[in-house]
A and B are shown apart, each in its own frame.
Chain A
Amino acid sequence: MGSVVIDRRGFELLIAALQSRDYKVVAPTARDGAIAYDEIGGVSDLPAGLTDEQEAGSYRLWCRDDDALFGYAVGPQSWKRYLFEPKTVVFRAQRVERVGFVRAGPSDAAPRYAFVGVRSCEIAAIGIQDRVFLGGSHADPHYRARRDAFIVAVQCGEPGGTCFCASMRTGPRAEAGFDLALTEIVAGDRHEFVVEVGSSRGDDLLGQVPSRPADSSDLGAARAVTDSASERMGRRLDADGLPERLAAVLEHSHWDQVASRCLGCTSCTLVCPTCFCSRVSDTTDLKGLEATRTRTWDSCFTLGHSYLHGGSVRSTIRDRYRQWLTHKLSTWVAQFGTSGCVGCGRCITWCPVGIDITVEVQALLAPLGPGRPTVSPGAGAPVEPAAPAEVPR
């Protein structure tokens, strides 16, 4: 199963081959001014010739000067919305005399998905959610039924301004967790994809598409794409020993400082590809004869998330931001054996006030001085506008 090279026409045939095998093909599209995942009919639905510009609290699509199909970083959505859907009916019951109630109807039928354009950080995020939903003593049947999706990865060539996957060791190069992995090579008139094979079903599918074996120069060109991306990451985060270092600063004054900017809007948790909190609610029909139990995405930034009779445990935004950040980077490791952060940068880009996890961590871990914690711009901060973290944007 050596790597091969396919051209743009070959890529079209690859998508068609997935569709002929009854896969619902989901891929990046341009919608509402952003890259959004959606079901595609063919390659023409992909955001050709577009790129993105991402900074803390800002996202813009721009035209590229080539026709690259994957020349952008991740958008606000992640594959989470297909594997762990925003809203899932988990149980329906019918009221019945004598026995009380019985399950109503069969459980849902999972779509047969093929995900095209899955980035390395996304594969890492799926691996993290696997541990949550499948790794414990109770597997989630809805997640499991969707998890068999066919995965066509795309190696990253254009890291976003808020990306830091290289720091989290989750990218930019996907080494496993895919059926096929494409590296897009666009240079002059050349528009090809170097394809690595990650599974036998990937190999099988690739057999339906005209290709040529990849030579060393093709492989070198593919490697150069991710090597260059690695060097151009917009952010970085010193991840060594983070769980212990963060556990030691739970009473740091910087939590109050972040809380003065944080709106508690839940955006970061909704765009995060690993955040898994959900709430379960019950409803009935008007006659009270049929009950429906629904699981919906929840967020630790809501006051209700920690509600116990009498009030909420995490009653302030300080408490809730601290819960989110320390869960993501510290306690997640004890809970699930891995960090909860893949360095995709979405929480930075999509924060309406531009709160930057890499900058906040740096401030929290800076030696405590007599005054406010100091942040030296440059290490985790945006590359050009070196605004100190304390200044609200």
Chain B
Amino acid sequence: MLAERVSEPMEPQPYRVIEVRHETADVVTFTIEPTPGIASMDALPGQFNMLWAFGVGEVPISLSGLRPGGVLVHTVRSVGTVSEALTRLHSGEIVGVRGPFGRGWEVETAEGDDIVVVAGGIGFAPLRPVVEHALANRSAFGRVVVLVGARRPEEMIFDEDLLRWAVATDDIAVEVTVDAAGHDWSGHVGVVTELVGRARFDARHAVAFVCGPEVMMRFATRSLQERGVPLGRIRLSAERNMHCAVAHCGHCQLGEYIICRDGPVFDAARLLPLLTVRGR
């Protein structure tokens, strides 16, 4: 009964880098496509891939864009050996990919509702496909509100998208804020949760998509609740150490959940109680 061989879930497939964009001093967005003979994957917003730098190691990276023809976009911040190796990739080079993994944002289940995106720092990366999906299916949704925070203006990622969305379309409300700025910044200064209170959306008919540092997600959830958004309509993307992405290695446990299998996206009603226990 157990004799048949099964495929190796730890084996990456070679993808070629076709475009590299430096977002900030330490954040790079690269576009990749499967090399000839490699089947393209059907990935969804909020899902992630394991990206492998040959012989260096592998890290879980959310999809920051989905393009036709199996072309994928990932945005990586250099924080360790592997992510640094990934941010040094050049166009034409090869990266190993396993995926897609996890439960995504399930944006389509918010059809008919207002969409509120709350992003902090690199947490904006997995949320960009939510905005892109909403804009590509604009009539299916109510208001689309995008609230983005970064520590400093020079750490704001996807600034071209933000400008384009803010200027070129009336269909979407974009607000950005930074924790600290110099005199050349004329925008809002403060934490992103402050934007939630004044954004225009119908709290009773809104679905919120939140990703950022854990403390930011806790406060954003509180602000959204104060606006009247029920916990069950707030979605958060959780992060833990991850080695295998197939629920075998035990690293990404968070209480009763295995994030690579049960997440990374969770309803706040399920996730928030776990985030409020220190050291969990």
- Could you tell me if A279 and B2 are in contact, using CB atoms closer than 8 angstroms? no
- How far is B246's CA from A134's CA once the two chains are assembled, in angstroms? 11
- Could you tell me if B6 and A331 are in contact, using CB atoms closer than 8 angstroms? no
- Could you tell me if A136 and B54 are in contact, using CB atoms closer than 8 angstroms? no
Q: Whole-angstrom distance from the CB of A328 to the nearest CB of chain B?
A: 12
Within 8 A of B (CB), among A308-338: 308-310, 313-316, 318-319, 322-323, 327, 330-331, 334-335
Q: Does A261 contact B (CB under 8 A)?
A: no
Q: Could you say which residues of chain B place their CB within 8 Å of the CB of A288?
A: 54-55
Q: Does B167 contact A (CB under 8 A)?
A: no
Give the total of B residues in contact with A, Cβ under 8 Å: 47
* Contact with B279, one of A133, A141, A319, A334 (Cβ below 8 angstroms): A319
- Could you tell me if A305 and B10 are in contact, using CB atoms closer than 8 angstroms? no
- How far is B261's CA from A334's CA once the two chains are assembled, in angstroms? 13
Q: Does B243 contact A (CB under 8 A)?
A: yes
- Could you tell me if A280 and B9 are in contact, using CB atoms closer than 8 angstroms? no
Q: Could you say which residues of chain A place their CB within 8 Å of the CB of B240?
A: 306, 308, 313
- Could you tell me if A101 and B14 are in contact, using CB atoms closer than 8 angstroms? yes
Residue of B whose beta carbon sits closest to that of A92: B11
* Contact with B239, one of A144, A308, A319 (Cβ below 8 angstroms): A308
Per-residue CB contact flags for chain B residues 180-191 toward chain A (1 = under 8 Å, else 0) read 000000000000
- Could you tell me if A132 and B248 are in contact, using CB atoms closer than 8 angstroms? yes
Q: Does A53 contact B (CB under 8 A)?
A: no
Q: Does A391 contact B (CB under 8 A)?
A: no
Q: Does A223 contact B (CB under 8 A)?
A: no
- How far is B248's CA from A134's CA once the two chains are assembled, in angstroms? 9
Question: Contacts A280-B243, A284-B55, A319-B280 given: A141-B256 contact, CB under 8 Å?
Answer: no
- Could you tell me if A136 and B247 are in contact, using CB atoms closer than 8 angstroms? yes
- How far is B246's CA from A90's CA once the two chains are assembled, in angstroms? 14
Within 8 A of A (CB), among B216-262: 239-241, 243-244, 246-251, 253, 255-258, 261
Within 8 A of B (CB), among A95-128: 95, 99-103, 107
Q: Could you say which residues of chain A place their CB within 8 Å of the CB of B278?
A: 319
Binds B, one of A22-30, A290-298, A363-371, A380-388: A290-298
- Could you tell me if B54 and A101 are in contact, using CB atoms closer than 8 angstroms? yes
Q: Whole-angstrom distance from the CB of A257 to the nearest CB of chain B?
A: 16
- Could you tell me if A141 and B55 are in contact, using CB atoms closer than 8 angstroms? no
Within 8 A of A (CB), among B49-87: 52, 54-58, 79-80, 83
Which B residues form the contact surface with A (CB < 8 A)? 2-3, 5-12, 14, 16, 35-36, 52, 54-58, 79-80, 83, 93-94, 96, 239-241, 243-244, 246-251, 253, 255-258, 261, 277-280
Given contacts A101-B94, A305-B251, A319-B278, 13 further A-B contacts (CB under 8 A): A91-B8, A99-B94, A137-B261, A139-B9, A279-B243, A280-B58, A283-B55, A291-B54, A295-B244, A305-B241, A323-B280, A327-B253, A331-B256
Which A residues form the contact surface with B (CB < 8 A)? 90-91, 93, 95, 99-103, 107, 132-134, 136-141, 144-145, 147-148, 250-251, 276-284, 288, 291, 293, 295, 298, 300, 304-310, 313-316, 318-319, 322-323, 327, 330-331, 334-335
9 sample A-B contacts, Cβ–Cβ < 8 Å, listed by A number: A90-B8, A132-B248, A140-B9, A278-B249, A293-B10, A309-B79, A314-B280, A330-B256, A334-B257
